[in-house]
């Protein structure tokens, strides 16, 4: 349930009581009586500077997107929201692609324009755009970006192959820990299996185990991997092998080959250590042996993700060729981003590739940024490693290897991650009863005595996949999710002494009406307020640029999208969306542009359904800033602000008061499928007055800000301090 009381009402110091006495509500909208008490003299709350705490992110996208996004018009529109910090997101990592952050660079096999790429740490001209390169040794059927490539394990071509990441080999890591690799198949429905075909590449596995999952459910309680009766091999010799796994067929939905010891052989003529590190498999089939001893293969083999049996692997070799450039995935150039003005002169958080790139390329990127003199204080290692369904222990090993390579180059930079797709991610098809991916990651760092090398913790926060149904109820549910998430991270060992950063947030990772209507404004305000109140350092809004309404997941969700503005046919910002108005309300009304702001304790009573939240700050100008959110779809809220001293004496707030309200009178969304658009989009209504009786009305689904003088302590209050 949402936390309505953060502490007992009996605490010392001057108090403000925001009383909701049930004043007249809008016609047909019954009022809710709420009381909020704010400790105006609280000295224990978190302190933050809006210049560091509030930001937004830009990402890679399809071809031509950088030119459409980074125009003078769009940059001015984005900057006017007041979100001064910037994070650069790495879409190539989601797409299982290598990132050529500088189009100029060198191949490990330059004669054939292939191998392992290292971008140049110098560039005479400005880098305006950079590219992703598909990995021809890919083992995954699907990815989290454009999702238009396929696994080489089940593509029907024995000339192609999957290969695991050589940087997870003991020859590179030297961490004394096993990093077994694996490949798995998932059948559409359970099938009878008693044999497997493995066409090995080079290097092949000498020792490996073939297993099946004990449940048809990938998260089945108590489910675990079972080794086939004849599924253990200790003397593999490569080649094309058909292995009898069981005397009788076993009903299987998930099949795994656990790769435990490699041959350490390389193709003829190879001189690169990476060629002999890891494991390579050309094709996998599985089914039943016929009476003639031939395999009746139940695996669908096709060079298309929608036509092949689903395959997933533990890691992928970042080897690729010049011809593998993906024309549909580009990243804005680093020079273009840093020179755009979107960083507002503040340090920009930048990524380096980890899962599908090399440490040498990451090192070159940092040298480039240093030579350019660009302000960088935080470098995020990889992106959404948990969302790749790989091992947390493998990611932790790569993380530390990259830190060891990069820290001597940039001792003043803080390195962090894991840029988790969700801080609540669970491990997949794992028999360990501890299912938290993050706990495994933290434990892996702790086991090596290296937790101090995690200098900030980053994650994404998209609370809802399902954006249909009762949206106001979801807004209230987000409170519980955020509180649960923060408590769990602390319990799992993420140090509270390092910054916790939300590197992307929004209503959902999928598009829909709620993201372009008033609920998105209320969600944004609450995420920012709650995250900072619970100890977070910075939150970055995803959807900085203009957008068009789309529906990509659930027809019932309607059409909408993340963004500050609607986009015209040329991708240029037009009508502001709720997130824009909310950003300005936060950065220009609730907060001052800069300086230390202290969050104050608040206690709320009278809103038993959790629909009302209030966040309070003491601003650098000494005024009190109150952010109030009403998430009820049909009840208005009346706020009457009073002060109370320690003795319990009540008095009206007097003085100059600034009120700002944003809700249905300012914004309305016209729901017309792909042609959906704002029917009304006005900024918050602002009023200034000198009043002896502060009164503020919040209509349903609205938010408001009031800034008032902090009442001076009474004589009795001073005496007891």
- Tell whether the model's pLDDT for residue 25 goes beyond 60: no
Q: Element (H or E) spanning 152, and its range?
A: none
Beta bridge partners of 351: 380
Whether 213 and 308 map to the same domain: the answer is: yes
CB of 382 closer than 8 Å to CB of 419 = yes
Instruction: Tell the residue number behind the tokens 């301090």, with chain if given.
Output: 721
508-538 per-position pLDDT tens digit: 999 999 999 999 999 999 999 999 999 999 9
* Any domain includes 156: no
Per-residue confidence (pLDDT) for residue 198, from 0 to 100: 98
Q: Are residues 25 and 75 in the same domain?
A: no
Does residue 4 sit within a domain? no
Task: Assess whether 374 and 491 both reside in one domain.
Answer: yes
Of 626, 653, 628, 651, the residue nearest 638 (C-alpha):
628
The tens digit of pLDDT for each residue in 456-484 reads 999 999 999 999 999 999 999 999 999 99
Instruction: Write the CATH number for 644.
Output: 2.60.40.1180
What value does the mean pLDDT of the chain take?
A: 91
**Residue 157 included in any domain:** no
pTM over 0.75: yes
Q: Looking at the structure, tell me whether residues 289 and 244 fall in a common domain.
A: yes
Residue 140 lies in a domain: no
CATH number at residue 175: 2.60.120.260
Kindly tell me the sign of the dihedral angle through the C-alpha atoms of 714, 718, 720, 721.
Answer: positive
pLDDT at 715: 38
CB 481: neighbour CB atoms within 10 A? 17
Q: Do 349 and 498 belong to one domain?
A: yes
Structure tokens at 645: 């001293």
Whether 614 and 648 share a structural domain: yes
Q: Outline where 428-509 has alpha helix (H).
A: 437-447, 471-491
Among 259, 290, 317, where does a domain finish? 317
Specify whether 570 is located in the same domain as 603.
Answer: no
Evaluate if residue 371 carries a pLDDT over 60.
Answer: yes
Same domain, 541 and 525: yes
Of 566, 590, 614, the one marking the end of a domain is: 590
> What's the mean pLDDT in 61-73?
96
Least confident of 280-284, 406-410, 643-647: 643-647
Tens-digit pLDDT profile for residues 699-714: 999 999 999 887 655 4
Instruction: Give the count of domains, the chain.
Output: 3
Closest by CA position to 98, among listed 145, 65, 56, 57: 145
The last residue of a domain, from among 317, 339, 363:
317
Residue 123 lies in a domain: yes
Question: Among 549, 569, 552, 553, which Cα is nearest to 561's?
Answer: 549
Does some domain include residue 341?
yes
Q: What is the DSSP string of 647-674?
A: T--EEE--EEEEEEEESTTTEEEE--GG
Give me the DSSP letters along 510-579.
Answer: S--GGGTSHHHHHHHHHHHHHHHHTT--EEEEE--S-B--B--S-GGG-SB---SEEE-TTS-EEEEPHH
How far is it, in rounded angstroms, from Cα 140 to Cα 164? 11
Residue 29 confidence class, pLDDT cut points 50, 70, 90: low
Together in a domain, 575 and 684: no
Same domain, 293 and 331: no
Is residue 80's pLDDT more than 80? Answer: yes
| Percent of the chain predicted with pLDDT > 90 | 83
Domain coverage including residue 193: 162-317
Do residues 494 and 433 share a domain?
yes
In-domain check, residue 143:
no
115 shares a domain with 180: no
CATH of the domain at 398: 3.20.20.80
Report residue 387 as tokens: 């969302």
Q: Taking 50 as the threshold, does the pLDDT of residue 717 lie above it?
A: no
For residue 9, being part of any structural domain is answered with: no
DSSP, collapsed to helix, strand or coil, labels residue 685 as strand
């Amino acid at each position: 349930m949402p936390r309505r009381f953060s502490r007992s009402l009996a605490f010392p110091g001057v108090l403000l009581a925001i009383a909701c006495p049930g004043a007249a509500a809008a016609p047909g909208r019954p009022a809710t009586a709420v009381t909020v008490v704010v400790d105006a003299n609280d000295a224990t709350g978190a302190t933050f500077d809006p210049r560091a705490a509030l930001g937004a992110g830009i990402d890679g996208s399809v071809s031509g997107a950088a030119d459409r996004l980074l125009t003078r018009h769009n940059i001015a529109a984005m900057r006017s929201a007041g979100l001064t910090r910037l994070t650069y997101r790495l879409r190539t990592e989601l797409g299982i692609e290598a990132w050529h952050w500088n189009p100029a660079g060198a191949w490990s096999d330059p004669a054939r324009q292939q191998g392992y790429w290292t971008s140049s740490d110098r560039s005479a001209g400005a880098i305006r755009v950079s590219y992703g390169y598909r990995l021809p040794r890919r083992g995954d059927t699907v990815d989290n970006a454009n999702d238009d490539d396929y696994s080489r394990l089940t593509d029907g071509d024995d000339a192609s192959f999957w290969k695991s990441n050589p940087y997870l080999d003991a020859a590179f890591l030297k961490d004394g820990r096993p990093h077994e690799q694996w490949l798995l198949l998932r059948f559409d429905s359970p099938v009878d299996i008693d044999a497997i075909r493995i066409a090995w590449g080079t290097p092949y596995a000498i020792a490996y185990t073939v297993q099946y999952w004990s449940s048809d459910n990938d998260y089945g309680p108590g489910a675990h991997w079972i080794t086939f009766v004849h599924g253990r091999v200790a003397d593999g010799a490569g080649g094309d092998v058909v292995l009898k796994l069981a005397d009788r067929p076993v009903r299987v939905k998930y099949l795994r080959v656990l790769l435990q010891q490699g041959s350490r052989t390389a193709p003829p003529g190879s001189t690169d250590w990476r060629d002999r590190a890891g494991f390579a498999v050309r094709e996998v089939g599985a089914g039943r042996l016929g009476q003639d001893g031939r395999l009746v293969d139940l695996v669908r083999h096709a060079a298309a993700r929608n036509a092949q049996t689903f395959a997933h692997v533990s890691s992928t070799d970042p080897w690729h060729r010049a011809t593998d450039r993906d024309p549909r995935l580009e990243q804005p150039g680093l020079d273009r981003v840093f020179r755009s003005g979107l960083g507002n002169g503040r340090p920009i958080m930048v990524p380096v590739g980890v899962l599908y790139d090399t440490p040498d390329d990451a090192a070159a990127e940092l040298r480039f940024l240093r030579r350019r003199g660009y302000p960088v204080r935080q470098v995020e290692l990889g992106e959404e490693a948990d969302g790749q369904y790989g091992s947390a222990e493998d990611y932790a090993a790569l993380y530390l290897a990259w830190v060891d390579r990069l820290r001597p180059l940039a001792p003043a930079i803080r390195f962090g991650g894991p840029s988790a797709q969700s801080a609540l991610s669970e491990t997949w098809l794992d028999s360990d009863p501890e299912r938290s991916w993050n706990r495994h990651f933290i434990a892996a760092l702790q086991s090596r005595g290296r937790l101090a090398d995690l200098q900030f913790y980053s994650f994404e926060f998209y609370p809802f996949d399902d954006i249909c149904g009762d949206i106001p109820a979801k807004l209230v549910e987000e409170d519980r999710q955020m509180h649960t998430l923060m408590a769990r991270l602390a319990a799992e060992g993420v140090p509270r002494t390092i910054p916790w950063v939300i590197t992307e947030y929004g209503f959902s990772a999928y598009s829909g009406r709620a993201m372009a209507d008033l609920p998105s404004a209320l969600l944004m305000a609450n995420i920012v307020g709650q995250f900072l109140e619970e100890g977070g350092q910075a939150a970055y809004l995803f959807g900085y640029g203009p957008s068009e309404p789309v529906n990509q997941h659930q027809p019932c969700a309607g059409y909408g999208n993340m963004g500050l503005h609607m986009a015209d046919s040329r991708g240029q910002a037009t009508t502001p969306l709720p997130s824009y108005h909310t950003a300005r309300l936060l950065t220009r009304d609730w907060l001052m542009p800069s300086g230390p702001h202290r969050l104050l304790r608040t206690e709320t009573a009278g809103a038993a359904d959790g629909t009302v939240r209030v966040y309070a700050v003491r601003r650098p100008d000494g005024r009190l800033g109150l952010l109030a959110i009403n998430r009820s779809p049909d009840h208005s809220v009346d706020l009457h602000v009073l002060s109370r001293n320690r003795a319990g004496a009540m008095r009206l707030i007097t003085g100059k008061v600034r009120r700002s309200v944003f809700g249905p009178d300012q914004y309305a969304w016209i729901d017309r499928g792909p042609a959906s658009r704002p029917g009304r989009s006005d900024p918050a209504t602002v009023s200034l007055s000198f009043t002896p009786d502060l009164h503020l009305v919040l209509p349903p689904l609205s938010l408001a800000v009031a800034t008032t003088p902090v009442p001076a302590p009474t004589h009795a209050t001073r005496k007891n301090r």
